[in-house]
Structure formats: C-alpha cells, structure tokens
A and B are shown apart, each in its own frame.
Chain A
Amino acid sequence: MATQTQVKPDPQLQSRRGTFDVLQDWVTTVDHKKIGLMYIAYALIFLVVAGIEALLIRIQLAIPNNTFVSPQTFNRLFTMHGTTMVFFVGMPILFGFGNYLVPLMIGARDMAFPRLNAFSFWISAFGGILLYCSYLSGFGLYGAGTAPDVGWFAYAPLTARVFSPGHSTDYWTLSILISGIGSIGTALNIVATALCMRCPGMKLGRMPLLVWLYLVTSGLVFVTISPLTAAQIMLCIDRYLGGHFFDTQAGGSAVLWMHFFWIFGHPEVYILVLPAFAFANEIIPVFSRKAIFGYPAMVSASVGIGFISLSVWAHHMFTVGMGPGPNAFFTFSTMVISVPTGIKIFNWLATLWGGNIHFTTSMKFAIAFLFQFLIAGLTGIMLSVSPFDWQLGNSYFVVAHFHYVLVGAILTMIFSAFYYWYPKMSGRMLSEKLGNWHFWLFVIGFHLTFDFMHIPGMLGMPRRIYTYEADRGWALLNQIVSSGAVFQAVATLIFVWNLVASYFKGEKAGPDPWDAWTLEWSTSSPPPSYNFATIPTVESRRPLWDRKHPEEPDELFE
C-alpha cells in the first residue's frame, strides 16, 4: 500500500502547487495546447483593449463636430485599434486555435518544433506589449507618451521623421517587425507539423479540412510576412540611417511603400479568413450531421484562394494613378477570387441541405457567419470594380466592407469555434443560455453598426476623419452606427463572463460532447499532455464516424 501511494502522487497535493510553480509551468511550457491557450488568452486581452478603442472612436463620431477626444488622440485611437486587431488579436487567436487543434486533429503528440513554438509565442507577445509601451514613452522624454498616429497601413511619407517626429512610429514599426518573426516561426511549425506528423493512415487526402486550411494560411504567412518585414527594415533605415526608400523629398517613392505593404496586406486578409473557413468546415458538418460536401473541391478552392490572393494586392491602390492597364488587371484578379470563394459558400450550403441541423450557439454563430460572409463577399465584388472603388475606396463603405469580413465573418466564426472547442480545452461546456444572449446581442449590434456604416461612405464620408461637417447628412447614420457598438460591447462582456464562469461551474463535457468525427474528440477533455495514449490509426476522413458507424464507414465514399 505504502509503495502505491508513493508511485501515485496525491492529486490534491498536486493541485496545491505554489503560484510560482504554476507560473513557471506556463512560462517554460513547450506543450502545444498550453501555448495555444496562451495565444488565445493574449488575443482576448487585446480584443478587449482594441474594443475599448473602437468604443471611444464611435463616441467621438456619434455627433458632428464632437470634441470628446482631440484630433491627435483620435488618430492614435484608430491606428492602435487597427494595428492591434490585425496583428495582436486576429493573428494570435487564429494561431492559438491552430496550435491547439492541428496536432490533435492529425493524431500527433505535439507540434514538429515545440521549442520554436514557445519562442514564436513569446516573441509575438513581446511585440504586442512593445506596441502599447508607446503610450508610456512614444514621444520621448519631453512630452507625455504617445501612441503611433500614422494609420495601420502607415503610408509613406507620413512615417518619415519630418512628419512623424519622436518615437511613436518606431514603436509601431518595431513591434510589427518583431511579431512578424513569431508569425513566421509558427507558420513554419504548422507546415512542418501538417506535412510530417500525421498519424498512420492519414494521407493528405484524408487530412481534416481545418488542417488543410491552416496549411494554406501558413504558406501565405511565409510568403507575405517577408515583404512586410523588409518594408519595416527599409523604414527604419530611412528614419535612422539616412535612407531614401520612401523619402519623397529626396526622390524616394511613396507608392513603393504601398506595394510593399499591400503585397502583405491583402493576403493578410486571407491569412485571417482561411482559419475562419477552417472552423466552418468542421463545425457546419457536425451540427448538420452530414459529411462536408465536396471535400476535394473545398481543398482545391482553398489552395486556389491562397494562390490568387497573392495577385490582388494593388486593388488597394486603384486611386494612386497606376493607369488603365494595371487597374484592369487587378480588377480581374480580384473578381476571379470570388469564384473559389463562391464554391466554398455553395458547398457549405450543400452540406446543410438534407441535414439534421442542430441550432447550438456554435452553429448559430456559424450560420450568421454564412450570411455575413456572403454580404461581405458581395461588397467585395463591388469594390473590385475599380471605377466604383475610385468613388468608395477609403470611404466608410470600405470600412464597413472590411469590418463585415473581419467582424461579421472572422470574429463571428471565432466565437463559433469557442463554443465548439471550449469543452475540449477546458473539460466543461459553455453556458448555452449566456451563449444565446451573446449571440443575439452581438448580431443585432453588428448589423446596427456595420449595415448602416455602408451608407455614409456612399454619401461621401471618408474614413479616418476625427469629425465631420453637420450639413452633410451623415449624423443620423453615425448615431445608429455608434449605438450598435454598445450592443457589441455588452455581448462581448457576456462572452468573457461565460468563459470565466463556465470554467468553474459549467456542465462536465466528457470527451465527445458534440458526437463529432475528428480525432481531437477521441481523447479526454482536456487532453492529457501527450494527447493520445496510443497514436491512432485512421482509415478515412472521419475516423470517429467509422468507429460509430461500422456498417457504413466513410472510406467507402472517398
């Protein structure tokens, strides 16, 4: 007896570890699940911060000629909001889910390079914290600290030292440069994991669609973060070593920066949206109780989107005077990308068709994603028509369009993913009752804000103005837009509360609460640090379906 207790440590004793031990465990961990959770937690903190910035922006714009914040503060707010949301909310939250799910879904025990994984997370996290240090010390010792105010795409020559003195722009450029290194590390890791760590029997053609999409996303990160990093280095050279890449006063080119930024910037949208597609590919089939419709088409559409997305960047530059030839080319390439995207929407629709659709909170968010992504895609087609873009580029129509993509599609699908995978990550279900409140408040708020935001754009309201004239007829619309932000804020608070409360009081989930089909549901919730006691062997795309339905296994239909 005595020897047995020695071998098996008392679980209560284990849970009484000191704070330092717990902290050390998280800081030094190389476990892909813990790193994934840290990515997600880090992104959620920045989501709240950038959300507060958005609220301040909306208060300022609620009435014309408002003086709630100064123009300088407003410009910093939208710069920080955009930069934070893209680099320190969107990227880390998606990498977080990828880190957590990719090894589990392919039956691996960890990522290919666990230490690189930890390095990537910590360096990305450092980037985000560095950006916010600008509030403390951006302008130098004399003035109070200031955040960067050059906009999230920081067009040259506004970033030159002449127009942007002090260090606020340096914080911006260095934090992006540093977090880019982390992104490349994680992307490399995901590619290596997906290609080399699959369990026996999992051919590429049997890989879950989520992993396929993460593979494409990671490939895009490789290709596009590099020019962004190069641009940041050139900017640093301009600012401190007397370079003239973007220094127009000395013969440099402002348009060069635009090309460098958008060759990153547009694929970046796909880097963010492909993981959202990835979640939809897993969640919609499970709650329709049907296999995904057209797996090979979904894979080729995703790979196709990846490639085409590298050829569309200059649709952000239809108004810079590229001439009719380039304008026509980028109009065409941008329109073409709607074809594989359309295939995806139709395949999801066909997956729902003939199913047995369960409206869980997760599924409701996924359905909202379908509707909203449809609209976002259609306004995208409108903006690809370059003469239309000559009018509405850089107007509130564009702001509404890309928020439709980033909030209406990506964030909505991230919420869906939370309700779906939280049980796996924590071992407990999220409250469906709170989830219902979260869903409806968020959807109402989203549509109040972003449906109405299209109209001021069509009526001539440019983006990034800290105030507007009273006689333009934009006031009522902006009030509606601002009122929606309140709903979204309350919904997000309910969501965060749900995450916290359910961790302690939520219903026990068990290994497979959704009766799902991919490998992560075959291990306990939360999974042990080694994921699988024995490495599974798979025969088809849906290994758990095969186990549950031995009479009609999936492999017969591949």
Chain B
Amino acid sequence: MQMRIAMFFSLQLIASRGLSPHADWLPASEWVRYAAQNLICLLALHFNQTGTSMFAPQATSSRSIFGLSMLVLSICAVIFLIVSSLLLYTLIRYRHRRGFTQREPAQIYGSTQVELSWTVIPILIVIVLFLATARVIFVTETAAKPSNALDVVVIGHQYWWEYRYPKLGVVTANELHIPVSDPTHPAPTYLTMSSADTDHSFWVPRLAGKMDVIPNKVNTMWIDPDKPGLYLGQCGQYCGTQHAKMLIRIYADSPTDFAAWIAQQRQTAAQNPAAANGRAVFESNACVNCHTVSGTSARGTFGPDLSHVASRATIASGAVPNTPQNLRAFIDDPAHFKPGALMPAMRLNARDLDAVTQYLTTLH
C-alpha cells in the first residue's frame, strides 16, 4: 500500500512537470488537466497491481507518450464537458411541455458566422494537437542510437519469444534481461524484430508503445527502463490459437546483475552426471529436432533454446511458474497449459518423463 501511495505521488510529480513554477495561480485549463491526471493515476493504481498500465511509465519513450496522452485527454475532456453540457442544457430548456401552444417554433435555417466559428475553432485545436503529436513521433522514431546501446534481436514465434544477443553470443527465450538505463548515462536497448511465422506485436506498456513483429519485415524499437525490476507485457497482435498466452517478461537488471546473467548464459549447458539418464532420454527423442541445449546433439531451432531453461522463472512463455511439476505436466502434454501450442504431446512413459524433467531442472 505504501509503495502504491509513493508511486502515486511520484506519478503526480511527473504529471505536473509541465506546470509553470512561477505561477501562483493556475489557469482553469491547467486545473482540468491536473484533475484528469489525478483521476487517471488513481484509476490506474486502483486496478493495476503488477504494472501493465501505460499510466505508470518507467522509461523515456513511455513517459513521453504518457505526457502527450495527458494533453490529449485533457483537451478531449474539456471538449466533452462543453459540448455535453450545451446539449443537456438545450434538451432541458427546449423540451416539449404539456399544455404548450401547438404553434411550431421559429424556423432557423442556419447562420454563416456561427457555423464558421465551429469550423475554425476545431481546425485550430487540430493544428495544436498535430504539432504536439508530430514532436513525439519524431523524437521517438528518429532517436540517435548511442554507441553503448545493447542490441537484441527479437523473433516472434507462434506463442513464444526468442531473444538473441548477437554481440554477446547469448540466445534465450521468453524472459528478456536488459540493463537498467541511468538517465544521466543512458544505456538503451535496441530491439531488432521480425517474425518466424505470423504477425505478432511486442507490447510492454510501462516501457514503450507496441511495435509489430512481422514476417519478412524488420522493425526496430528501443527501451530504457530507469528502475530495476520486472516489466510485463504480452503479444499485441492476434497470431493464432494461443495468442492469449504469449506473454512477455522483461527483467531490467542493475549493470552488475546483468553482467552476471550474461556470464551465466554464455556458459555451455550444465552437464550434471546425476541427470545423465534424463539427458539420454532427451537426446534420443524428438526433443532435439526443435530444441537446442549447448554442448549436446540437440540443435533444433523451432522451439525455445533450453541451455539455461532452469534459470528462467516461468515456462510456456510466461504462462506458468517454472516448477518441476509444471515442467513435467508441460512435457507430458503442452495443451495442458497451452491448448494449441505447437509442441506435440511427447507421450513418454512415467520414468522417462521424470528423468527428462529432472534433467531440465539441472540446466541452470
């Protein structure tokens, strides 16, 4: 609760940055804007515990979108208040009353001045809105890439995400680790994205707007979370049966944590002698056609890289926690958690199933 209140105030601070520090009083439009911001922040905090709200931005891009949204929301709120109160007033003032004379009211056919005014004023509003929008579009989409930026290749697959760090030699799935970006020394992560099959969309609301992940097309976006933590999102474009469970988890690590994580991921997969039996089952079954485990004969690329699967908090693209029970149930029949997942039910006998599960839990 305390954290939520603290978040609320920090949000307010961000939201009210636009206010003039010199003014003792605020113009009415600013008050409306202020009230709208508070209302939305409260709503966002009330309904959202884990943070997929665009109103709790934690990175440069999402924050500039947040600011622009506030401007647009306040303009729209003002227009709504004015027009709807006019409408309400008209309906009450000019309603038909019983016992009224049956004469028709005066017929008015139009007025050039009045009509001109409600043509010109909206045009002015449109121009203001467009200029504010164009600024954010160009700032976001034409930002220069700093030399210390981290490159990650994102590949959308039917119902899971593949992440490749080409310069660091790391391949992982579903859980993206990136370094936190200090606003004074920005270290953004640049995502180069494409799809292996159908259209997907990469959407982590607290970090940036979504960007579609389309086959035979390369898109880019950048994110720079300035606070360590877990940022959630999910696929934003209908991509097939299991679109709903194609979840995204981004861990923003401190620089030391990130370096440690990279070092661990670069190692060849663990070869625990206690799990040799499970490894044999894994390598002698169809698992190797789709999955990679470094240092073994498993070099498939259709499914997630499993070299360090035990280091991940979740399996099935974030659908369930990575516990031995869940892992076993998933290998037995992926449809148990994700009906429509492309991995076939392996139908291993209980002993092999236990052995493979145990093997995978050793792949830290």
Contacts and interface: CB of A to CB of B under 8 A. Distances in A.
Interface of A: 70-72, 75, 149, 151, 155-158, 163, 248-249, 251-255, 288-291, 293-297, 319-321, 323-324, 327-328, 331-332, 335-336, 338-339, 342-343, 345-347, 349-350, 352-359, 367, 370-371, 374-375, 378-379, 381-382, 385-395, 455, 458-469, 471-474, 476-477, 549, 552, 554, 557-558
Contacts of B130: 328, 331-332, 335
Given A253-B216, A331-B137, A359-B96, A338 B126 contact: yes
A254 B214 contact: yes
A391 B210 CA distance: 6
Given A392-B54, A458-B54, A473-B49, A321 B212 contact: yes
B68 A388 contact: yes
Nearest to B199: A155
A466 B244 contact: yes
A359 B238 CA distance: 44
Contacts of B109: 291, 293-295, 557-558
B192 to A, nearest CB: 11
Interface string B20-62: 0000000000000000000010011001111011110000001
A301 to B, nearest CB: 9
Q: Interface centre among A72, A155, A345, A390, by most B CB within 10 Å?
A: A390
B141 A395 contact: no
Contacts of A558: 109
Contacts of B138: 324, 328
A459 B44 CA distance: 7
14 contacts: A149-B241, A158-B239, A290-B108, A294-B115, A327-B141, A349-B90, A355-B105, A359-B96, A374-B84, A391-B62, A392-B54, A460-B234, A462-B235, A466-B243
A67 to B, nearest CB: 10
Contacts of A151: 238
Contact of A323 (B86, B94, B141, B234): B141
A156 B239 CA distance: 10
A399 to B, nearest CB: 12
A100 B40 CA distance: 47
A392 B198 CA distance: 21
A473 B209 CA distance: 20
B160 interface: no
Given A352-B94, A388-B65, 16 more contacts: A254-B215, A290-B107, A291-B107, A294-B115, A321-B214, A324-B138, A331-B134, A335-B126, A359-B96, A371-B87, A391-B209, A461-B52, A464-B244, A473-B50, A549-B104, A557-B109
Q: Interface centre among B55, B100, B137, B220, by most A CB within 10 Å?
A: B137
Leading 6 A-B pairs by shortest Cβ distance: A390-B209, A460-B52, A465-B244, A248-B215, A321-B219, A248-B216
B233 interface: yes
B118 A346 contact: yes
A293 B104 contact: no
B100 A356 contact: yes
Contact of A320 (B44, B68, B212): B212
A321 B68 CA distance: 20
A367 B241 CA distance: 41
A357 B86 contact: no
B217 interface: yes
B72 interface: yes
B198 A357 contact: no
B52 A71 contact: no
